[in-house]
Amino acid sequence: MAGRRACIVGGGMCKWGVREASYIDMVQEAAKACLEDVPGLKPTNIDGLLFSSTFVGRRSVQANTAPVVAERLGLKPTSICARVDVLCAGGSTGILLAKGLVESGMADVVMVVGCEKLYTPERWQVQYDEIAAIDHDWDAPQGIGPPPLWFAMIAKEHMKHYGTKREQLGMVSVINYGYGYTNPKGHFQRKLTMEDVLNATEIAAPLGLYDCCPLTDGSAAVIIASEEKAKELSDRPLVYIRGGAQVSLHSVSANWPGEHLGDWPHLRLAAKKAYANAKISPKDVDVAQVHDCFSISEIVEVEELGFCKKGEGGLFVESGQTKLGGAIPTNTDGGLLSCGHPFGATGIRQAIEILKQLQGRATNQVNGAAIGITHNLSGSCVEHTIVIYGREPRK
């Protein structure tokens, strides 16, 4: 099987937001949209299923979910049927695993589907679940778990060491909501002004309401197949999964690997490994989907991914470099801030946007986009996962 190449063939998502729907309902909606995106694909063509979710068991009282999902989707996996749980990076991890399965010859066509049912009127339940996603013995008892508090500390450290301004955080939200305004399946379809952002309810200083991604229910699905199968299933331009990387250097906050919280060496290492694996450099990337769970995270990420110098992420965003026509249009479908963040589905939603960008069918199209990147962090920024896509295969 030497020389096999994995491609992303198509994808779809359900409407994201506050849903009166079960996780099975949303998975079925996303899978239907995915199959509609690949008219030549039938459920019988799919030999593998990877289901990405972290909280489905806590919210649905259903363990061993992958076979249940396969049954409800009419799939009969013969190569792989498994659940992937890496919190926010579950979807992109599933895509990397599917790539390996296809290129090894173990699978030909794999559906990667992710879903979370996160919103609940009982807000204590949300925080209780969030704390379960970090080191439960060490960090959780100290109250470090709720994400806004953690990323507020990151923002303060970045401001202290690099002079990042509150308005630069706000610009991330303004730009990404502007992109999301045209995304009918995202959580929000509204535009923001800087005044909206700066006058919003404070969540954890310096972060306000619009600096934080919402609690979102949602599902997304993609098809990963061998190059040969991809050509059979679709007449659209091929999009190859050129490479990727995943790095985790710590779990407990006391073992943070950087000099301070605004310094993310684990992301720098993941980027270095991913670029080497895909045989590209940062300057080759045309469009990016980064993990803007909070406005500050995008500012740090554009630095560590090599799109600008360390410490200049705020200026980079403020000067319009993440807009269409800028150096690296980023989160062109609205990102986590506007689309929402149902953990296991986010990396898959990002992949769908990059697929459309590279095939020239995105709503906010980047002219001539040939290489795209997705990035997810997990938990309290303890793990970084990158996937790189291209119109041409890795040479």
pLDDT band at 128 (very low <50, low <70, confident <90, very high): confident
pLDDT band at 2 (very low <50, low <70, confident <90, very high): low
Question: Quick one: the chain helix, strand, coil %, rounded to 5?
Answer: 40, 20, 40
pLDDT at position 1 is 42
The CATH architecture that domain 6-120+217-233 belongs to is 3-Layer(aba) Sandwich (3.40)
Question: What is the signed CA dihedral for 373, 11, 370, 318, rounded to 10 degrees?
Answer: -50
- Catalytic residue, from 88, 212, 293, 308: name it: 88
pLDDT band at 395 (very low <50, low <70, confident <90, very high): confident
pLDDT at position 146 is 66
Tell me the average pLDDT across 219-239. 97
Residue 213 a catalytic site member:
no
d(CA 192, CA 18) in angstroms, rounded, equals 20
d(CA 88, CA 374) in angstroms, rounded, equals 12
d(CA 185, CA 95) in angstroms, rounded, equals 21
Tens digit of each residue's pLDDT (9 = 90 or more) over 246-256:
999 999 999 99
Question: Is there a shared CATH topology between the 6-120+217-233 domain and the 141-201+241-390 domain?
Answer: yes
Tell me the average pLDDT across 110-121. 93
Give the side-chain half-sphere CA count within 13 A for 188: 22
- Catalytic residue, from 187, 341, 375, 384: name it: 341
Q: What is the CATH number of domain 141-201+241-390?
A: 3.40.47.10
Cβ atoms < 10 Å from Cβ of 67: 15
The residue extents of the domains of the chain are 6-120+217-233, 141-201+241-390
Percent pLDDT > 70 in the chain is 99
Res 314 pLDDT > 70: yes
Tell me the average pLDDT across 6-16. 98
pTM of the model: 0.97
Residue 250 a catalytic site member:
no
DSSP state of 73: T
Res 145 pLDDT > 80: no
